[in-house]
Amino acid sequence: MKKIILSATLLIGVMFAGNVKAQQATAKDADAPVIAFQKDTIDYGTIPHNADGYRSFHFTNTGKEPLMISETHGSCGCTVPTAPKEPIPPGQSAEIKVHYATDRVGQFTKTVTVTSNAQDSPKILVIKGNVLPDAPTASAK
């Protein structure tokens, strides 16, 4: 009988502690920053070989606390993101710049992972497009 009472008390205590933690997390999340991107995919379209590979993802912090981006990384070495280092206050906008190495010919789809203190971190952004090869040169006769 003592084992049953002890087990029941322990179970109720664990459930109560879990419920309190869940409520605290929800309360914290309500004030957390929110990173709202204008769009989460950038389509370069069809571009020439060695074209300008720079683009920007524009976003706004729509949360109640300052947004801190702790890390951004591309899915390969040909995709290099650059994020703001300073906190983004609530209601303010900024951008994450991305450079794709357009010396690589062909279709591409790459991702940029953004890690921050925002509610939905990490956030995955996508760049895609097609880099055309150089036009063939006419050989001299």
CA distance 45 to 56: 15
**Region of 108 on the Ramachandran plot (φ > 0 left; ψ -120 to 50 alpha; else beta):** beta
Cβ atoms of 110 and 76 closer than 8 Å:
yes
**Which parts of the chain are beta strand (E)?**
35-37, 41-47, 54-61, 69-74, 79-82, 93-100, 106-116, 123-131
Q: pTM to 2 decimals?
A: 0.73
% residues pLDDT > 70 (the chain): 78
pLDDT tens digits for range 78-132:
999 999 999 999 999 999 999 999 999 999 999 999 999 998 899 999 999 999 9
Place of tokens 């949360």: 63
* Extents of the domains making up the chain: 1-31, 35-131
CA distance 101 to 51: 9
Phi/psi of residue 22, nearest 5 degrees:
-65, -40
pLDDT tens digits for range 19-70:
544 444 444 578 899 999 999 999 999 999 999 999 999 999 999 999 999 9
SS3 for 20?
helix
The DSSP-derived string for 93-108 is: EEEEEEEE-TTS-EEE
Return the CATH fold of 35-131. Immunoglobulin-like (2.60.40)
SS3 for 37?
strand
Number of Cβ atoms within 10 Å of the Cβ of 55: 16
